[in-house]
Amino acid sequence: MSRTSPWQSLRTRAGLRNLAATAAAAVASAGLGAAATAPDTRWYRGLEKPPWDPPSIAFPLVWTPLYADIAVTTAAALTVLEQEGRDEEAAHLRWVLATNLVLNTGWSVLFWRGRRPWAAAAWCGLLAVHSAALTRRVGQVDPSLGAALAPYPAWCGFATALNTSIARRND
């Protein structure tokens, strides 16, 4: 008996339930992070940034599809795990996802509200490592899901390098 595509699993009742839950979590994380973000402040405008700092518009254009990617791939992985009776792994994946979204939101609060570039750079590095672990875990359920989520840790790695460069330039 062949396994159903993880993407097709999203069309089931369980898949839609998981997608609603992961989408709600991603939207909450994105909304809280956006509320904490303040690029128009005097503090941020006064920071020296590297020449490879993307324009401000790049961030919502990148983060919006990344949050959607997180929601869809983890929902599909959760649904496959549940369909295969791997409930303990599904519960662990939910915990990993929740932790990752807290790390994601926490960076925005630490950088923008806390105005602590070095602490935020370390936090962002932790987020990048954790995002890679989330991607690996999702990819273990199905390689196509891991491949689809791969841009997320790549972007978090870029964000870590950018944050570290900003911290170094404004030490």
> Would you give per-residue pLDDT tens digits along the chain (171 residues)?
456 799 999 999 999 999 999 999 999 999 999 999 999 999 999 999 999 999 989 999 999 999 999 999 999 999 999 999 999 999 999 999 999 999 999 999 999 999 999 999 999 999 999 999 999 999 999 999 999 999 999 999 999 999 999 999 999
**pLDDT number for residue 2:** 55
**pLDDT number for residue 87:** 97
**pLDDT number for residue 143:** 97
**pLDDT number for residue 99:** 98
CA distance 98 to 88: 15
> The tokens of 167 are what?
């911290």
The total of other beta-carbon atoms located within 10 Å of residue 127's CB is: 25
The whole model's pTM is what?
A: 0.94
**pLDDT number for residue 96:** 98
Q: Which residues, 6 or more positions from 155, have their beta carbon under 8 angstroms from its beta carbon?
A: 62, 66
**pLDDT number for residue 4:** 76
The total of other beta-carbon atoms located within 10 Å of residue 57's CB is: 8
Across the chain, how many H-helices and E-strands are there?
7, 0
**pLDDT number for residue 1:** 45
DSSP, collapsed to helix, strand or coil, labels residue 6 as coil
